[in-house]
Amino acid sequence: MSVIETTPSREGLPLLVIPNCVPVMVKAFRALLPEFDGLCRVRLFTDTMLDEEILARRMKGADAVIVVGFHVSDDLLKTLSQTVRCIAFGGTGVDNYVNLDKAQEYGIRICNIVHYGDAAVAEHAIALLMEITRRVGEMNADMHEGEWQPLDGMELCGKTMGIVGFGGIGQWVARIAHGFGMHVKVWSHHAHDEAMQQIEATSVDSIHELFESSDVVSLHLAYNKHTEGIITADDLAALREGSILINTARAELIEMGALAQRLEKGDIYAGLDVFDTEPMPEMDPLRVAPNTILTPHAAWCTDQAVHNAVRQCVDSIRGFYTGTATNVVV
């Protein structure tokens, strides 16, 4: 762990603390630190610490903080409220990470980032799908072991892609699927008539209908109190033999334990980038589930998406110090 500080001797300036950091974001934050010159001091911790007590000590005395990858409990929020007046989150679904009502009660501005990685996440969803259907990684490993054995694949052209949620990421996935020659079906809370027409997508009335009529289902809903567990065991049971489920959104969208149980039957496939507990526990049943491709919540992790995320965090904090509003949620 190292600590990067700017103008530490200028104690008259307010203090911005970044109490931990994903390794791939450190370089991006360092490149933008000069934008805070004259506005605030910055204290950037470059490790991935998640211990709440340590994080609280690191943020002591801060006027603003940037939160990357940890939940702010009600107790921690109360502690921070003694000095902190702005929290910028390095993600979109902030209501999963902080009690927004309490933040408003304490007078703390909450900011998030939006559409920073739509293309990145969509491409990763398709990468998971392609690994399942064409098994490139598996054949590459075999080749490096000296084998020469072509493996059967699944052709996507003519298949049906079902998309749950049709925001920025869902629309990217739909366009790619359409480019493959797939038929696209969509279930969404909101109407997106123009985007649907562009790719000749059709709308369905229920998630259950989407699951039972699609060859591939890709999840792209935001996670909140209304969408928690929205995918039920009954929905998963409706998947036909050979169907594929892709989840680069949130694990909590699926009823707890239902996916592992469904995969045990061995007749469907899954490509998963998100999990109920992260990092994923060693004994998580999904680690040994058949027909499953797993990645460690990496869909967002591209050079451009990282830059976009850090850029928006910096802009939110600069807005706070200069009296403007950028990506303000509360």
3-state DSSP assignment of residue 197? helix
Among residues 30, 175, 178, 297, the one annotated as catalytic is: 297
| Closest CA relative to residue 220, chosen from 245, 191, 200 | 245
Q: Which of left, alpha, beta for 115 (phi over 0: left; psi -120 to 50: alpha)? A: left
3-state DSSP assignment of residue 111? strand
Q: Is 297 a catalytic residue?
A: yes
Among residues 105, 115, 278, 287, the one annotated as catalytic is: 278
Among residues 250, 252, 255, 318, the one annotated as catalytic is: 250
What whole-number distance in Å separates Cα of residue 309 and Cα of residue 4?
Answer: 19
Measured in degrees and rounded to the nearest 5, phi and psi for residue 237 equal -65, -25
Q: Is 250 a catalytic residue?
A: yes
What are 183's two structure tokens?
A: 């038929």
What are 304's two structure tokens?
A: 């451009």
* 235 contact partners, CB below 8 Å, separation of at least 6: 207, 208, 211
3-state DSSP assignment of residue 313? helix
| Closest CA relative to residue 286, chosen from 303, 297, 301, 274 | 274
Is residue 276 exposed (0-12), middle (13-18) or buried (19+ Cβ within 10 Å)? middle
| Residues identified as active-site | 250, 278, 297
